Structure 1
Amino acid sequence: MLISNIEVVPGKRVVQHLGLVQGSTVRAKHAGKDILAGFKNIFGGELKSYTDLLQESRQEAIDRLIEQADHLGANGVINVRFATSAIAAGASEILAYGTAVVLEDR
């Protein structure tokens, strides 16, 4: 499955447009890691546990997007974007969305 954040894939032609696909996940922060992150806020530096949490969340959202596109018979998803929103205190949604397509070589 080809995943791209651009509308046109060099060397490929869109032969069928299958529509919008999306994948999302809602994640909560770990209380222990949140306390350690609070110390980092005081002293500065990367909040590695949050970086890892967000990376895992983005990958899970992409995996779900691919699953939905595959179900439609797509071999590519173009114009992929991410969005994040707060759901509750300490919990966020990561959403990946794009256009499922059938691509063929030119």
Structure 2
Amino acid sequence: MLILTTPTIEGKKINEYLGLVTGDSLLGANMYKDMFSGVRDVVGGRTSKYEEELTNARKLALESMQKKAEEKGANAIIGTRVAYHNLGGTMGNTIMVTVFGTAVSYQK
């Protein structure tokens, strides 16, 4: 399935717009990762563990969105966006990754 950030599929005719599709994934940070990240921030360098976790969370959100698009009969998603939300408070240090776009059927 094509997943594009563009509003069209260049050189292809969109037959039907099937509606909004979304996918979400939560990333919960724990105390040990937070401490390690803090040490890395002080001494410099990248916190690769968090980067890996964010990559996995984004992948899960994209897979969820794709599944919903397939259930609508789509073969592409256009106008895709990714958003990150910090859910502080009672959720602790939790990050939600949300992806959304328009499911479409296009002529291959």
Q: TM-score range by the shorter chain?
A: over 0.9
Shift of residue 31 of structure 1? 2.3
Structure 2 residues not aligned, in runs of 5+: none
Please state if 1:13 is matched with 2:13. Answer: yes
Q: Distance in 1 between matches of 2:58 and 2:71?
A: 20
Q: Distance in 2 between matches of 1:12 and 1:70?
A: 19
Tell me the residue number matched to 1:36.
Answer: 36
TM-score, normalised with respect to structure 1? 0.94
Q: Distance in 2 between matches of 1:13 and 1:98?
A: 18
Q: Alpha carbon RMSD of aligned pairs, Å?
A: 0.9
TM-score, normalised with respect to structure 2? 0.92
Residues 1-80 of structure 1: pairs in structure 2 closer than 5 A: 1-80=1-80
Shift of residue 86 of structure 1? 1.4
Give the % identical residues: 29
Q: Which structure shows the bigger proportion of residues in strand conformation? A: 1
Q: Distance in 2 between matches of 1:64 and 1:76?
A: 14
Deviations 1:13-45 (A, max 9, x none): 111000000000111013222211110110111
- Kindly provide the amino acid, as one letter, of the partner of residue 15 in structure 2: V
Provide runs of 4+ in structure 1 moved above 6 Å.
Answer: none
Aligned residues: 105
